Amino acid sequence: MGATDGLRGPEIWIRGPVTVPDPGPAPTPAPYASTTATPRRFSWVAAHGGAGSSTLAAVYGGHDSGRAWPGAGDPPSVLLVARTHAAGLESVLRTLEVFRRGEAPAGLDLDSVVLVADAPGRLPRPLAQRVRTIESIIDVYRVPWVTDWRLGDLGGSPPRETAPLTRLTGAAGGTAR
């Protein structure tokens, strides 16, 4: 039948809308129920050493798992973090393959990939092509080079270029720098 023997990978390989059956009418909320949603919590998982998961967890909130999978009691929604150098992007592709094969720990949900600039300026063409490959598989958030973070200054608002990531994580700010 082919290399996959008819098996399909998880939904991270499906791009675009996924149809969901109509659940019917929504139940009426109790009069005491809150109508404000709380931001979803995430575990930042580094695809490789030095990816920046600790910095991103400090700036955007959430649990820093480092290079380990989130443990019991940690948020099961994973934001996979990598630098935009060649080794970092290859680490992302290897980790995506782990999820595609169903080899990641049960209960984890790979929400998206967060790519942190490894240097100021534009990416060289071969690296930009690898990023486009990753973007064809899963949602990608980009974080620019932030000199203050390199110097250890994690205060202030996240860079304005990361407004979509700020909305996803529910972090305050997102309009400065």
pLDDT of residue 160: 94
Cross-strand pairs, 45: 66, 80
pLDDT of residue 10: 44
User: Of the candidates 10, 79, 9, 2, which has an alpha carbon nearest to the alpha carbon of residue 47?
Assistant: 79
Predicted TM-score (pTM) of this structure: 0.77
pLDDT of residue 171: 83
DSSP 111-161: EEEEEEPSSSSPPPHHHHHHHHHHHTTS-EEEE---HHHHTT---SPPBGG
pLDDT of residue 72: 92
- Give the mean pLDDT of the chain: 83
**Sign of the C-alpha dihedral computed for residues 62, 68, 73 and 79 taken in this order:** positive
pLDDT of residue 24: 53
- Please tell me the number of Cα atoms within 13 Å of 152 on its side-chain side: 0
Name the strand (E) or helix (H) holding 166: helix 163-169
The series of mean pLDDT values per 10 residues for the chain, 177 residues long, is 44 45 51 52 96 96 96 96 98 97 95 97 96 97 95 92 94 53
- Please tell me the number of Cα atoms within 13 Å of 43 on its side-chain side: 20
| Cα 136 from chain centroid (whole Å) | 14
pLDDT of residue 92: 98
pLDDT of residue 40: 74
User: Of the candidates 123, 145, 120, 146, which has an alpha carbon nearest to the alpha carbon of residue 133?
Assistant: 123
